[in-house]
Amino acid sequence: MFRNACGRGLVTRRVGAVDCGTNSIRLLVADVGDDGLLTDVERRTEVVRLGQGIDRTGVIAPEAMERTLAMSREYAARCRELGAGAVRFVATSASRDARNADEFVTGVVAAFGDLDVAPEVVAGDVEARLSFTGATGDLRRLGVPGPYLVVDLGGGSTELVRGTDDVEVGRSVDVGCVRMTERHLAGDPPTDDEVVAARADVAAALDAAEELVDLSGLGAVVGLAGSITTVTAHALGLGRYDRDAIHLAEVPLDAHRAACRELLAMSRTERAALPYMHPGRVDVIGAGALVWHEVLGRVAVRSDGVRVVTSEHDILDGIALSVAR
């Protein structure tokens, strides 16, 4: 769908973007102008836990498959209702790892039907570029200097991408909030031994990431996705999940790390009582906080005085912009 905005000759296109990760599936329907600016029409996040047990079994569990395909059908209906002229569906870590990924792809194609959407199980470097594009546009417009390190912390993997005007280098590592919870953090709250094991796993992954991604000389670290936005809400002491307050919030690095330690140490009952906590994140936020804590610890050593900014614009925005182009 194309339209002129406000009689000024600016052409906009209404597009749909779906990001299906290990923990959640998200929808963005947006109007994208030919100036590259994006205006939300609808943005949704639903926790479906597609990656449930996948690190252990190597397959998408039947109940996880059905939850995700049911939400795919709902998202397809919204895209039709809102008049999205084109839709792109990007699937990430869980769908890369699963032996029965073909069954998932077939289900998504059926869900979107006449919209002619074929889900793309993207490689880590593609995922990284989409995240970087979506996350950094606002920072450049606000004059926040680079180089940027964009950290997209998902359920199964974490992407670390460095760049200024464009991606310079990125690396995807298999440490995410769902994967680390299932591997290590069974306790409620996690035991000291569990935390030590999880930190060692994350440290090995970050060692591998640093073989490619230089963490020195950064101007800003840009944190994306539900674990980091929830840590930010905790650091800000919000009375509810407030997307506008979280987007582009700049919180000192030490305050981020303190919030991470507090969330990791809480029981699930204590986390569930937090007013900004999504119910689907209660059991995995400790692991997400641990990964974010370790990333920031590395950055603090390599880049003195770096700014830490949280963005609600991420891979979804990058997907929408790619559709419009």
Q: What is the DSSP letter of 281?
A: G
Domains 2-122 and 133-315 share a fold: yes
Whether 55 has a pLDDT exceeding 90, the answer reads: no
Residue 96: the pLDDT is 65
Please report, for the chain, the start and end positions of each structural domain, with discontinuous segments joined by +.
2-122, 133-315
- Bridge partners (DSSP) listed for residue 301: none
Task: Say if residues 203 and 294 touch (Cβ distance below 8 Å).
Answer: yes
Helix, strand or coil, per DSSP, at residue 311: coil
Please state the separation of Cα 124 from the chain's center in Å: 13
Residue 64: the pLDDT is 92
Give, in order, the Cα–Cα distances in Å from 160 to each of 76, 94, 153, 283.
Answer: 30, 18, 9, 24
Residue 138: the pLDDT is 84
Residue 14: the pLDDT is 95
133-150 pLDDT, tens digit each: 888 888 888 888 989 999
Q: Specify the CATH number of the domain 2-122.
A: 3.30.420.40
Its CATH class, for the domain covering 133-315, is alpha beta
9-34 pLDDT, tens digit each: 567 899 999 999 888 899 999 998 87
In the predicted model, what is the mean pLDDT of the chain? 90
Give the confidence band of 6 by pLDDT, cuts at 50, 70, 90: very low
Whether 2 has a pLDDT exceeding 60, the answer reads: no
**C-alpha–C-alpha distance, residues 207 and 194, integer Å:** 20
